[in-house]
Structure 1
Amino acid sequence: MFISFEGIDGSGKSTQARMLADALREAGHDVVLTREPGGSPGAEEIRRLVLEGDPDRWSAETEILLFTAARRDHLERVIEPALASGKVVICDRFADSTRMYQGLSRGDLRAVVDQLHSLMIKREPDLTILIDIDPATGLSRAKGRQGTEERFEDFGLGLQEKMRAGFLALSKEFAPRFRVIDGARDPQRVAQDVLETVQAELPG
């Protein structure tokens, strides 16, 4: 089963992805926990290009190509082999993030994202967990991390507000695979909701 986590910056999705992986391993599942952009050596190199540096370092069009290249490598080298061997793959972000951050936030490029996805990726997650949170809270959390990968956080609150609305709209567009979970609560309560949601969908 292929599970993705989505959400605005600071939503807690990375923490929830790790907690889910731990819980499923304890239950006896063979789990691969990975992330995007990144997850494979080549894709991690591209991650450094797109997440560090000046906010205006790349155009949205260039970003779409970089993210798609990273995703293709990740899919070939990590995701598809793991799924073929019967493992559960949990991915912190996947194509929905590109639909939002590049396809919506920096111009009307969603059609371009979808065309490239259809041509080069051709796969959606079986289940997508959207961790929903207030944009101001999320941005405060994200900036509090004080890491080097803050290029998108540096676009400010307006981008996060637009992204939250976009993700919620996306959850309706792809309703069969999306589950929206309130991320404004204690992480343990959120994790319990996530686990119950996933267990209801896991085959066998």
Structure 2
Amino acid sequence: MRGIWITLEGGDGSGKTTQAALLQEWFEAQGRTVVRTREPGGTEVGQLIRDIVLHHRGEIGARAEALLFAADRAHHIASLVRPALERGEVVIQDRYLDSSVAYQGAGRVLGADEVRGLSMWATDGALPDLTVLLDLDPAAARARLDADDKPFDRLEAERADFHIRVREAYLALAAAEPDRFLVLDATLAPGELAARVRERVAALLG
């Protein structure tokens, strides 16, 4: 069997972790080997970078932040994602380059084309078979995060206008690449969302 690579995108609190777990269960019930991973932090090196970009207390410039994400991505794809796909495994990944385009390109106002180009260079042009975008209004997302009663990371703590730009960027990305993206209303019940994801994946698998 050929490997398949699925990424999940969306604002913080949109339910990516829940959908990744449900999709993993579905694939494993079919006897497929699944690699669950995330960016940043899917490797040992990536976890070190994750601690810097999300939890470092000092100032990190926007361009430095984008470069750190790209460095994590280059290592992650080369050392984990590509080898898994070559073995015919399923890779389910929480965030990929679309997150950088949305968060650094739009949120940090560095420019979508520039940030996407950086990630494409870092990964030698790697793109997933399917990207599931869980779309959620930033105010609703913030309410979910508040209910979790956990400390916010550096990106979660940004102001409302930052998260509005992030959402708009995500929707623009999906509109530009409809064959790669599946956009879902993240306010739907988890089971309903999971069913829609499975339907699209089944069609992809043929």
Give 1:151 shift.
1.3
Structure 2 CA distance, aligned partners of 1:108 and 1:65? 12
Deviation at 1:104, TM superposition (A): 1.1
The Cα shift of 1:114 comes to: 2.4
Aligned residues: 202
Provide the rounded CA distance (Å) in 2 between the counterparts of 1:44 and 1:193. 31
User: Given that residues 107 and 163 in structure 2 are in contact (C-alpha distance below 8 angstroms), is that contact kept between their aligned partners in structure 1?
Assistant: no
Matching residue of 2:154: 151
Residue 193 of structure 1 aligns with which residue? 196
Preserved contact between residue 174 and residue 181 of structure 2 (Cα < 8 Å) = yes
What are the equivalent positions in structure 2 for 1:31-110 lying under 5 Å apart?
31-54=34-57, 57-110=59-112
**Structure 1 counterpart of 2:27, one-letter code:** L
TM-score computed with the length of structure 1 as normaliser: 0.93
Confirm or deny: 8 A CA contact 2:103 2:166 kept in the other structure: yes
Cα distance in 1 between the residues matched to 2:159 and 2:183? 24
Task: Give the corresponding residue for 1:119.
Answer: 121
Instruction: Label 1:152 to 1:160 Cα distance change in 2 as closer, same or farther (>3 A).
Output: same
Maintained 8 Å contact 1:143/1:153: no
Structure 2 unaligned regions, length at least 5: none
Name whichever of 65-74 and 146-155 sits farther off. Answer: 146-155
What's the RMSD between the two structures over aligned residues? 1.5
Structure 2 letter corresponding to 1:82: A
Please say if residues 134 and 184 of structure 1, whose CA atoms lie closer than 8 Å, have aligned partners that are also in contact.
no
- The gaps in structure 1 that reach 5 residues or longer are none
Letter in 2 for 1:108: L
Alpha-carbon distance in 2 for matches of 1:149, 1:199:
36
Identity of aligned residues (%): 38
Take 1:180 and 1:192, find their aligned partners in 2: how far apart are those partners? 13
- Asked if 1:164 is matched to 2:167, the reply is yes
